[in-house]
Amino acid sequence: MSEQIPGADADAGADARAGAGAPAAPLLLVEHSGLIATVTLNRPEKRNALNRELLELLVQTLRGFEQDGTTRVVVLRGDRRAFAAGADIGALSDAGAIDLYTAGFSELWDDVAAMKLPLVAAVSGYALGGGLELALICDVVVAADSARFGFPEAGIGIIPGAGGTQRIVRAVGKSMAMDLVLTGRRLDAAEALASGLVSRVVTEDALDAEAHTVAERIAAGAPLATRMAKHAVLSAYDTGLTAGVAHERTLSALIAASADRAEGMRAFSERTTPEFEGK
């Protein structure tokens, strides 16, 4: 089932795309397939540059999925030219330091990062600047062989501001992170795979199917266990080893109280397929 999520986009590009007097195209397209929701960023005339309206709508949409009781995994994608070619610089260029600090724009990436549902990024074309920061937030990144990743900010006198300098170090290590941030180097898909930035690379035509396959395997797991496992892995970003292991141990014990755990153990012993309910 496909649906369009309405979202007002008042920039000139949207007006040109829609035509005089015509409604603007939706900023997000959503398709549901069983337990999986696919969200497509839809600003093709801007190479899916991330403006406030789009990000706020994305956060609202993801929160809706977390509350609907049926969605277990979200696939986030752009189009063939770009996953997202950055934040919308035009919307930010006139803002002063205090305006930028207090606007809450960068915090919208934090809102996406706070989602409990697993997020699978399907990256084709450019994932630059804020677009790369969005991909770094996703739990699994599947890339087409056309994908290009980078931080061009230093070349226009700014730095990544939505968590990029922090997450990229954790993804690829200090030396590669410095190379990307300081030189503006762009990684192709093969380099991104070798550096650990993405987990899989496929052909352009196979991208959506591969991302959906990953999502299906995640959705087949017990929902509570999946969310707790995601939380435990992410805690490794934010804590030292000793604290992270203690947190994992707590979650591992807590999941034993779930109905899904009992169902999983029953299905294993009876050699049947478990029917998880997220309880």
Percent of the chain with pLDDT over 70: 80
- When pLDDT is averaged across residues 189-193 and rounded to a whole number, the result is 98
pLDDT band at 104 (very low <50, low <70, confident <90, very high): confident
Angle between helices 223-238 and 259-270 (to 10 degrees): 110
In this predicted structure, the answer to whether residue 135 has a pLDDT above a threshold of 80 is: yes
Confidence of residue 109 (pLDDT cuts 50, 70, 90): very high
User: Two tokens at 267?
Assistant: 């299905």
Answer yes or no: is pLDDT of 142 > 70: yes
Q: What are 258's two structure tokens?
A: 């779930």
Both structure tokens of 137: 């937030």
Average of per-residue pLDDT across 143-171: 91
The tokens describing 248, both together, are 């994992």
Phi-psi region of 258 (alpha: psi -120 to 50; beta: other; left: phi over 0): beta
Q: Which residues are catalytic?
A: 87, 130, 133, 153
Q: How far is the CA of 231 from the CAs of 22, 73, 84, 248, 256, in angstroms?
A: 44, 15, 26, 9, 16
State both tokens at 255.
Answer: 């999941």
Confidence at residue 66, expressed as pLDDT on a 0 to 100 scale: 94
- pLDDT interval class at 29 (50, 70, 90): very high
Instruction: Kindly report whether the global pTM for this prediction surpasses the value 0.75.
Output: yes
The pLDDT value recorded for residue 14 is 42
Lowest-pLDDT range of 128-142, 147-161, 178-192: 147-161
In this prediction, residues 215-242 reach a mean pLDDT of: 87
